[in-house]
Amino acid sequence: MNRKRMVFAILALTPSLWTSCIPASSTAKVATPSATSMVPRVTATAAIEHPQAPPQASPTATPARTATPTVPPVALELPAVAAPTRTGSAPRLPHQEVIFIRHGSREVRKVALTFDLCQRPENPAGFDREIIEVLLEYQVPATFFVGGHWAVTHPRETQWLAEIPLFEMGNHSWTHPDLPDLMEEEIGQQILRAQDAIWQLTGVVPRLFRLPAGKYNDLVLSVVAWHGLYTIQWDVDTGDPVFDTTPEVLAKNVRDRTQNGSIILMHANGRGWHTAEALPSMIEFLRGQGYELVKVSELIGLASPSSRDEKRE
């Protein structure tokens, strides 16, 4: 796939992200790579899937409620299995260049809904089943960025999500640390432990990676790429981890900020406080404006976002 290259912009992170799993503990510092490291370094430029374009005018019309699509034949009960079905390490992906993606093509009227599932061990999180039910009711594809520690403490939920064809899984690190605070080896461990946990439970080997709290430096991006993953940021932050952000404000944020190619950030770990309430109006609005809702992999033209294998004997 041909990619356009451009200098990537350092993103301004919104305060709401600090509360999505647990408040950040310190100011980020740049890790120093080891002298013997094989990880390629990022220079002043990094690959980005699609270049920035002048934003389109935000639509303001709110369409009437649309008819509810038929619910697909998906099991609505969590699976009985509540333990890993595989052992050992997930298949390792080939090294690649840094690919940092904030949005898809501005020329195509597609957007992606994404949901983070994360926690830190000292601050366990939950699961918003209502969000899944809304997505199934409306037949909406979605991408879930799953933390490894969250997955092993929510094995049934993780396995359930993996069985739903509308959904895909990405990696959201092991324990949601501030990655720029870590050394190279520690960053790699955060990535690979999450890969292993997700694969052991589901057989899925993610190729998409979301940065905890969206924080990064050159070393972080290099290590992600070294392990074969695409770094997926966002350009629409709903603000759903902030408790007093009402459903109406969440929906308005989507209406005002979404444009062609947008990646919309939300949470399904019990800390998207009013996301399930706001989601129907978001979906109806986006579809009413002619947007096609797709997985991140389709948005960026990634043919094989993850691999799925059978249990190893």
Query: Which CATH number fits the domain that encloses residue 111?
Result: 3.20.20.370
Give the DSSP letter of residue 66.
P
CA dist 29 → 21, 165, 188, 219, 298 (Å) = 20, 40, 17, 11, 34
Dihedral angle, C-alpha 145, 205, 190, 105, nearest 10 °: -50
**Residue pair 221/31 in contact by the 8 Å Cβ criterion:** no
Q: CA torsion 101→154→181→234, rounded to 10°?
A: 20
- Each residue of 167-217: pLDDT tens digit? 999 999 999 999 999 999 999 999 999 999 999 999 999 999 999 999 999
Q: Give catalytic status of residue 172 as yes or no.
A: no
SS3 call for 309: coil
pTM of this prediction?
0.79
Measured between alpha carbons, how far is 121 from 130 in angstroms, rounded to an integer? Answer: 24
CA–CA distance, 24 with 100 (Å, rounded to integer) = 22
- Residue-wise pLDDT tens digits, 135-176: 999 999 999 999 999 999 999 999 999 999 999 999 999 999
Establish if 207 belongs to a structural domain.
yes
* Structure tokens belonging to residue 198: 């997700």
Of these residues, 50, 103, 116, 196, which one is catalytic? 116
As for how many domains the chain has, the answer is 1
- Whether residue 312 is contained in a domain is answered as no
Helix (H, G, I), strand (E, B), or coil: what is residue 186? Answer: helix
Q: Which residues contact 178 (CB under 8 A, 6 or more apart)?
A: 24, 25, 26, 28, 212, 213, 215
Residue 196 domain boundaries = 89-301
Question: Can you spell out the DSSP letters for 209-232?
Answer: E--GGG---HHHHHHHHHTT-EEE
In our burial notation (b when 16+ CB lie closer than 10 A, e otherwise), range 157-194 reads bbbbbbebebbbbbbbbbbbbbbbbbebeebbebbbbb
Answer yes or no: is 192 within a domain.
Answer: yes
Q: Which amino acid is at 73?
A: P
Please indicate, yes or no, if residue 51 is contained in any of the structural domains. no
- Can 128 be counted among the known catalytic residues? no
The answer as to whether 48 is a domain residue is no
pLDDT of residue 305: 60
Report the candidate in 3, 1, 302 with the shortest Cα–Cα distance to residue 168: 302
| Structural domain contains residue 66 | no
pLDDT at 14: 40
Q: How far are the Cα atoms of 53, 186, 251, 306 from residue 27, in angstroms, in the given order?
A: 32, 17, 31, 33
Closest CA to 202 of 167, 176, 230, 233: 167
The answer to whether residue 40 sits within a structural domain is no
* Residue tagged active-site, from 50, 154, 227, 267: 267
pLDDT of residue 85: 81
> Can you list the residues of the chain whose pLDDT is less than 70?
1-83, 304-313
HSE toward the beta carbon, residue 105, CA cutoff 13 A: 14
Backbone angles phi, psi at 128, to 5 degrees: -95, 85
The answer as to whether 13 is a domain residue is: no
